[in-house]
Chains A and B, each alone.
Chain A
Amino acid sequence: MLGKISKSFAFMTTFAVAGALSAQAKAAVPTLKVGIYLPMSGRTASFGADVYSGVKIAIDEINKAGKVKIVPVLEDEKSEPTDSANAVKKLVNIDKVHVILGSVASSNTNAAAPIAQAGKVPLITPASTNPNVTQNGDFISRICFIDDFQGSALAKFAKNDLKAAKAAIVLDSASDYSQGLAAAFRKAYKALGGEIVAEVSYQAGDQDFSSQLTKIRTKKPDVIFVPGYYSEVGNMMRQATKLKVKGTFIGGDGWSSESLAQLAGDGIEGHYYSAHFSHEDTDAAVQGFVKKFGTLNKGKSPSDMAALGYDAVYFAVDAFKRNGYKTDAEGLKKAINSAKDFAGITGNITLDANRNATKPLVIISTHKNGHKFKQRVQP
């Protein structure tokens, strides 16, 4: 009798232990530690806030779904290359993250990438478009198009759609992004038979562009190409209106910020820039994201930076999944670099041999009461 009881007790215990074990197996969700470095302050802080708004939505969704647990570590790169390098150094050496997302300005990602490469941590940039960024090594990849494509698409748009025969270029001579994009535009625009009548430069932080604009005014260009960031471009547009500079401003994804219209005032009307995404896109996935973003952000529309941030997180998690939920750097790197037809909000992402994504871009016209989708350009 006693033996029987102890036997059944033993049986029950075994059962209970097995049950506990299976419950524990269920609780051990694969965890991915994601380092994020973005310009949360400084001259391009709007990019940081926008990208992070998308990143946060994606992380919350994934953690809520419960299949994968993401542990984010956010670092502010202060819109400076040196702080970007320090931020990534910390993410690699102290936080020991499995994958790094960031940053936006190409100069900053370029400063940080060699550290991720040396530390063998995959770094995915959501929005740095300068071609050199991924040349830092095989651990560096991006989910956006590069400036060669952006520059030539804008040149075609200027020459063929705006029928602009003469262009002026205003660039930030100290920015990798600005220089690369200007070079791509210059080459493509000349190849199409356009003439570059003036080229002037400014420095990040400048407030006064009246002399540059006066010089441009005398050359009477049809379009003024400004491959810069919103913080300076907005002001430039406003001063151009005051100085009665004619000519349409065109630019790249560096314009993408709410602040552009605020800073430009009346000067915002009727210019064009290229972006990664438009919230007016009728695509179901895009509209789903727009709706989600709106409910979480007081009805605001997401910028393309927010959409890229959202995509970057899912892109990293997709690679994590294809690596069998293992966090080893080599495996993760291979999974990231072999990404094929990943369906993102900003389009399908397939990485080429140089770890760049080939994606369409959208051209957006700027207006006082909200920017408008103009056309899509296929790569």
Chain B
Amino acid sequence: MSEFVQYLVNGFAQGSIYALIALGYTMVYGILKLINFAHGEIYMIGGYVGIFLLSTLGLPFWAALLLVMPIVGLFAVLIERFAYRPLRGAPRIAPLITAIGVSIVLLELMRLIAGAQPRPFPQPFEDVSYEVGTWISALDGVIIQRNQIMVFIIAVVLMLLLNTIVMKTKIGRAMRALSMDFDASRLMGVPIDRVIAFTFFIGASLAGAGGMLVGMYYNQVEPYMGQLAGLKAFTAAVLGGIGVIPGAVIGAFILSISEALVVGYGESSYRDAIAFAILIFVLMFRPWGIMGKAERVKV
């Protein structure tokens, strides 16, 4: 029992990070139908900006977290402006390839600037572990780290904030309108360029925060960290139903918890195989993902 709960705890901490990255994929896809492969690299850059703010500028953790988000967000806006916007009318494959290119450029650029070595992340908080067994005897042996709780809470707060922006504000309404019908929104006078830039900004801010949280949680940042995490987050977004915001969160938790359980009770070398098999299985029955809506493709 306590073992099972421990796997859930591990899964939830990992899942909150996947979710923060997955949201960026899903928002951009929802509006532009573009899979922004450079998104994993944005998350990695968030980790490095975090190190810079914490150690070089010596900022406190909360200030650094609040600064990382707009910095990385603006960076993504620049990428959108110069790499994706010129291709907006082009066939969908063109921006897709561009996205892969941007991803490689960012990865290699960061490797040249910061070096390929994993960098230890400055530790803003002491490591504190809580033994749940002292309160609930049935859960003896379950350990929750304070960092895990913090990562989870910060992620949830950011996601609630995102939800408010999308559901309650004018720009959020514009984003939803664009994702429903791009051309109609344009005809109705929605400032498309600004809304798209804002979408990139928000998505990248979340990924940047994710990069910083991962740096804090795992004590390291490296140029390659965005690749695997980006792939997993993309999977989570597809699993939950790409383009649907709550879907990305649910997909992220399903993916991370099933990974933890496969390692715990199954064969750990099959972890990724099983995680992706789940994806394929879900998509066989619900090709639009868990939360996605069936969409008829117009010919």
Interface hit among B114-122, B169-177, B179-187: B114-122
Q: Is the CB of B264 within 8 A of A211?
A: yes
The residues in B between 283 and 299 inclusive whose CB is less than 8 angstroms from any CB of A are none
Return the CB mask of B76-115 against A: 1 if under 8 Å, else 0.
0000000000000000000000000000000000010001
B117 to chain A, nearest CB (A): 6
A203 at the interface (CB under 8 A from B): yes
Q: Is the CB of B10 within 8 A of A205?
A: no
Q: Is the CB of B272 within 8 A of A203?
A: yes
Q: Is the CB of A41 within 8 A of B116?
A: yes
Q: Is the CB of A212 within 8 A of B116?
A: no
B14 at the interface (CB under 8 A from A): yes
- Complex contacts, A207 vs chain B, CB 8 Å: 214, 218, 220, 225
- Complex contacts, A244 vs chain B, CB 8 Å: 129, 143
A246 to B297 alpha-carbon distance, docked (Å): 56
Closest Cβ neighbor of B225 among chain A residues: A207
- Complex contacts, A42 vs chain B, CB 8 Å: 116, 224
Q: Is the CB of B268 within 8 A of A205?
A: no
Closest Cβ neighbor of B220 among chain A residues: A263
Q: Tally chain A residues at the interface, Cβ within 8 Å.
A: 35
Q: A214 contacts which of B13, B264, B269 (Cβ < 8 Å)?
A: B264
B227 at the interface (CB under 8 A from A): yes
Q: Is the CB of B120 within 8 A of A43?
A: no
Q: Is the CB of A211 within 8 A of B7?
A: yes
Interface centre among B7, B118, B220 (most CB of A within 10 A): B118
Q: Is the CB of B118 within 8 A of A200?
A: no
Q: Is the CB of A259 within 8 A of B117?
A: yes
- Complex contacts, B143 vs chain A, CB 8 Å: 242-244
Return the CB mask of B116-137 against A: 1 if under 8 Å, else 0.
1110100100010100000000
- Complex contacts, B222 vs chain A, CB 8 Å: 43, 231
B22 to chain A, nearest CB (A): 16
B219 at the interface (CB under 8 A from A): yes
A231 to B225 alpha-carbon distance, docked (Å): 12
Q: Is the CB of B268 within 8 A of A263?
A: no
| Interface, chain A (partner B; CB < 8 A) | 41-43, 45-46, 79, 173, 200-203, 205-208, 210-212, 214-215, 217-218, 231, 234-235, 238, 241-244, 259, 262-263, 265-266
A117 to B94 alpha-carbon distance, docked (Å): 42
Interface centre among A211, A212, A241, A259 (most CB of B within 10 A): A211
- Complex contacts, B7 vs chain A, CB 8 Å: 211, 214
The contact sample of 20 A-B pairs, CB cut-off 8 A, is A43-B222, A45-B117, A200-B268, A203-B271, A205-B224, A207-B214, A207-B225, A208-B10, A208-B218, A210-B10, A210-B13, A212-B263, A214-B3, A214-B6, A214-B10, A215-B3, A231-B118, A235-B220, A238-B219, A265-B219
Kindly state the interface size class of chain B when it binds its partner.
Answer: 35 or more
Q: Is the CB of B218 within 8 A of A46?
A: no
A259 to B224 alpha-carbon distance, docked (Å): 16
A333 to B10 alpha-carbon distance, docked (Å): 53
B228 at the interface (CB under 8 A from A): yes
Interface centre among B117, B214, B219 (most CB of A within 10 A): B117
Return the CB mask of B230-273 against A: 1 if under 8 Å, else 0.
00000000000000000000000000000111011000110110
Interface centre among A202, A207, A238, A266 (most CB of B within 10 A): A207
- Complex contacts, B272 vs chain A, CB 8 Å: 203
Return the CB mask of B179-221 against A: 1 if under 8 Å, else 0.
0000000000000000000000000000000000010001110
**Closest 6 CB pairs between A and B?**
A211-B263, A45-B116, A41-B116, A210-B10, A173-B269, A201-B269
Q: Is the CB of B219 within 8 A of A215?
A: no
- Complex contacts, A266 vs chain B, CB 8 Å: 127
Q: Is the CB of A215 within 8 A of B263?
A: yes
- Complex contacts, A263 vs chain B, CB 8 Å: 118, 120, 219-220
A218 to B140 alpha-carbon distance, docked (Å): 12
A329 to B228 alpha-carbon distance, docked (Å): 42
B272 to chain A, nearest CB (A): 7
A55 to B260 alpha-carbon distance, docked (Å): 43
Closest Cβ neighbor of A199 among chain B residues: B268
Q: Is the CB of A208 within 8 A of B14?
A: yes
Q: A205 contacts which of B6, B116, B228, B260 (Cβ < 8 Å)?
A: B228
B271 to chain A, nearest CB (A): 8
Closest Cβ neighbor of B3 among chain A residues: A218
B266 to chain A, nearest CB (A): 10
A214 to B272 alpha-carbon distance, docked (Å): 18
Q: Is the CB of A202 within 8 A of B219?
A: no
A47 to chain B, nearest CB (A): 11
Q: Is the CB of A242 within 8 A of B145?
A: yes
Closest Cβ neighbor of B229 among chain A residues: A207
Q: A242 contacts which of B111, B129, B220, B228 (Cβ < 8 Å)?
A: B129
- Complex contacts, B3 vs chain A, CB 8 Å: 214-215, 218
